[in-house]
A and B are shown apart, each in its own frame.
Chain A
Amino acid sequence: MNRQSPLYDALQSRGAGKSLSPDFIDGAMSRINAVDRRRRRMRLLWAAVGLCAGSAAVIAFLVLCCGDIIAGFIRDTAESMSDAAGAWQIVAMMLPALVLLLAADAFIRRIYLKRLSGI
Chain B
Amino acid sequence: MDSFRTLMDSYSQRVFALVVRIVDNEADAEEITQDVFLKVYKNLARFDGRSMFSSWLYRIAYNESISHTRKGRREVAVEESLLRAVSDSTVDALLDSGDARLAALPEALDRLGAEERAIITLYYMEGLPMKEVADIMRISESNAKVRLMRTRKKLYVLITQITKRYE
Interface residues of A, Cβ cutoff 8 Å to B: 2-3, 5-8, 10-15, 18-21, 24-25, 27-29, 31-33, 35-36
B20 an interface residue at 8 Å Cβ cutoff?
Answer: yes
- What are 19 contact pairs spanning A and B, CB under 8 A? A2-B125, A6-B105, A7-B95, A7-B105, A11-B109, A11-B120, A14-B21, A14-B24, A15-B17, A15-B20, A15-B125, A18-B26, A20-B12, A24-B34, A29-B1, A32-B1, A32-B38, A35-B42, A36-B1
A28 to B4, CA, bound (A): 11
The digit string for B101-128, where 1 denotes a CB below 8 A from any CB of A, is 0100110010000000000110111010
User: Would A10 and B105 count as touching, CB distance under 8 A?
Assistant: yes
**Chain B stretch 1-48: residues in CB contact (< 8 A) with chain A:** 1, 4-5, 8-9, 12-13, 16-17, 20-21, 24, 26, 29-30, 33-34, 37-38, 41-42
Dominant secondary structure at the B interface:
helix
Give me the interface of B with A, judged by CB distance under 8 Å.
Answer: 1, 4-5, 8-9, 12-13, 16-17, 20-21, 24, 26, 29-30, 33-34, 37-38, 41-42, 95-98, 102, 105-106, 109, 120-121, 123-125, 127, 155
A79 to chain B, nearest CB (A): 58
Q: Interface residues of A: mostly helix, strand, loop or mixed?
A: helix
- Residue in A12, A14, A19 whose Cβ sees the most chain B Cβ within 10 Å: A14
Smallest Cβ-Cβ distance to B125: which chain A residue: A11
Give the residues in chain A near B17, CB-CB below 8 Å: 15
- With A6-B96, A11-B21, A32-B41 in contact, is A24–B33 under 8 Å at CB? yes
Q: Which residues of A contact B1 (CB under 8 A)?
A: 29, 32-33, 36
Q: Which residue of chain B is the closest to A27 with respect to CB atoms?
A: B34
